[in-house]
Amino acid sequence: MKQLKYKTKLEDKNIIKSSEIKEFSEKQKFNYIGFFVVYFTLSSITSYLTVYLPVYLLSILNVNRSELAFIQVFSFSVLFIAPVLGIIFDKYTRYKKIIINLSIFIFLFSSLATLLSGSILRIFGLFLAINLLSHEIIKVGMSRILIESSTNEIIKDRNLIVINISSNIGGFIPSIIFLLAIIDVFNSYLWNNFFLLGGFLLMPMVIAIFCFDNKDVIQEKIEIQELRENNNNFPYYQILFLTLSFIMIWSDKLYLYPFTSWILSKFGQIGLKVLSSSYGIFLILNTLGYIVGQKISKKFQRRNIILIMNCLFIGLIILMAFSNLFFLIVVYALNWFVSGIMLLNYTSLIISISKNVKYQTVSYQMLRFAVAIASVLFIPLGTFLSSFISTEFLIIIAGLFSVLSLIPLIFTKEI
């Protein structure tokens, strides 16, 4: 009876009217704009918080690293809410736009507050937690829209490339502002101006409020597809394997906070400015990696691509610990290219897996959950360990941890 019901429903609705296709095409264009402004802004603030704020905290303010690590544990723990948010967006998908819009306003306020409160660590930690929470809600909402709009492999990879390009442009803008605003790295007044200028990068996010439609033009088609796919007995342990692999490949977060401070102490202001001015190249290579990743995924299995890219990524990480400034920039740039290929295929594979299960957003959020675990585990640990061991040694440890990402991939099947 269930198959007959499904067949009847499919026969009644397997032809989508041309007007609906046109309307969906227009909707997709607005989705691209929405994806662009959202990920542009998210990436801009992330660049401030992970590249430049650590230098300010560790090298200019000389904050207590153990206290900062303790605060980071609590702040980054809010990222664990991703699967719960996935359930909420799956169950109340009709309200996703309202939830996203409210989170956008919270994000705008908390971002600026986080940048300007670094001198008082407890207040900084509070605003950072609020910022990360709103950031996470927005990203989970975006993932729901991403899954809904990715009706085939071409649209899915195109969405991911738009997101990558906007993220990379957003990540590059702060480096330009830094080079123009911070003439003297050790002048705290210039840093305050630099953080205030970051507030202007928040403005594009407001455009997203008008971009995403709350209705699905082809929702009936999606429901039919879900009816078919949800009857499959898909092995959920595949999601677990991919999640475990993703956790360990993000072990490079171990040196996330000490990295730019290490560049400043080892290579001076020139080294920090060379690194900052090179971000444009890094981000272009990362986008190129996404494009190459899309092309080669048509010829090779995504799982095998991820395995190969992980091996290259690990080798490049370890090389960074033994490089002078020139080779460090070269190796770092290559790693951005490799990570572009790797991340596109990780994300695309988990989307394909998610479309085979009932709770799609929750399944997709397992990758976000993996990043949350890696952030809570590795960022505070790296900040704490940097008090008494060298950053070079932290980089080597991160490379060794990353080797563990290969084991779960061996048991992951291609979809």
- At residue 334 the predicted structure's pLDDT band, cuts being 50, 70 and 90, is very high
Please give the average per-residue pLDDT across 94-113, as a whole number.
89
User: What per-residue confidence (pLDDT) applies to 392?
Assistant: 94
Please give the average per-residue pLDDT across 294-310, as a whole number.
87
Half-sphere exposure of 319 (CA within 13 A, CB side): 17
User: What per-residue confidence (pLDDT) applies to 348?
Assistant: 80
User: What per-residue confidence (pLDDT) applies to 384?
Assistant: 94
Say which residue, 230 or 345, is predicted with more confidence. Answer: 345
User: What per-residue confidence (pLDDT) applies to 215?
Assistant: 52
Domain ranges of the chain: 21-210+220-410
Phi, psi of 209 (to 5 degrees): -60, -30
Please give the average per-residue pLDDT across 35-44, as a whole number.
89
Residue 16 has pLDDT above 50, yes or no: no
Please give the average per-residue pLDDT across 207-229, as a whole number.
53
Q: Give domain 21-210+220-410's CATH superfamily.
A: MFS general substrate transporter like domains (1.20.1250.20)
Half-sphere exposure of 245 (CA within 13 A, CB side): 28
User: What per-residue confidence (pLDDT) applies to 205?
Assistant: 85
Residue 2 has pLDDT above 70, yes or no: no
User: What per-residue confidence (pLDDT) applies to 279?
Assistant: 87
Residue 3 has pLDDT above 70, yes or no: no
Mean predicted lDDT score pLDDT of the chain: 82
User: What per-residue confidence (pLDDT) applies to 233?
Assistant: 53
Range with the largest mean pLDDT of 25-39, 254-268, 349-363: 254-268
Percent of the chain scoring above 70 in pLDDT: 82
Residue 230 has pLDDT above 90, yes or no: no
- At residue 52 the predicted structure's pLDDT band, cuts being 50, 70 and 90, is very high
Please give the average per-residue pLDDT across 97-113, as a whole number.
90
Please give the average per-residue pLDDT across 317-341, as a whole number.
93
- Max distance between CA atoms of the chain, in angstroms, equals 74
- Continuous segment of H or E residues that includes residue 409: helix 406-410
Please give the average per-residue pLDDT across 154-174, as a whole number.
82
Please give the average per-residue pLDDT across 122-145, as a whole number.
89
Q: Among 32-46, 180-194, 354-368, where is mean pLDDT lowest?
A: 354-368
Instruction: Estimate to the nearest angstrom the gap between the alpha carbon of 113 and the chain centroid.
Output: 22
Q: Among 130-144, 155-169, 285-299, 378-392, where is mean pLDDT lowest?
A: 155-169
Per residue in 275-292, pLDDT (tens digit) is 999 988 998 898 899 889
Say which residue, 351 or 88, is predicted with more confidence. Answer: 88
Half-sphere exposure of 285 (CA within 13 A, CB side): 16
Question: Residues 258, 381: contact at Cβ < 8 Å?
Answer: no
Instruction: Estimate to the nearest angstrom the gap between the alpha carbon of 211 and the chain centroid.
Output: 21
Per residue in 135-150, pLDDT (tens digit) is 989 988 887 787 777 6
Residue 67 has pLDDT above 50, yes or no: yes
Query: Nearest to residue 160, comparing CAs of 290, 354, 300?
Result: 290
Surface-to-core class of residue 33, CB atoms within 10 Å of its CB (0-12 exposed, 13-18 middle, 19+ buried): middle
User: What per-residue confidence (pLDDT) applies to 118?
Assistant: 84
CB atoms < 10 A from the CB of 22, how many? 11
Q: Among 65-69, 170-174, 224-228, where is mean pLDDT lowest?
A: 224-228
Per residue in 73-88, pLDDT (tens digit) is 989 888 888 778 877 8
Q: Please spell the DSSP secondary structure of 139-179, one letter per residue.
A: HHHHHHHHHHH--SHHHHHHHHHHHHHHHHHHHHHHHHHHH
Q: Among 41-45, 238-242, 263-267, where is mean pLDDT lowest?
A: 238-242
Q: Give me the residue label for tokens 């990758």.
A: 367
Residue 357 has pLDDT above 90, yes or no: no
- At residue 223 the predicted structure's pLDDT band, cuts being 50, 70 and 90, is very low
Residue 79's identity, in one-letter code, is L
- At residue 15 the predicted structure's pLDDT band, cuts being 50, 70 and 90, is very low
Percent of the chain scoring above 90 in pLDDT: 36
Question: Residues 259, 54: contact at Cβ < 8 Å?
Answer: yes
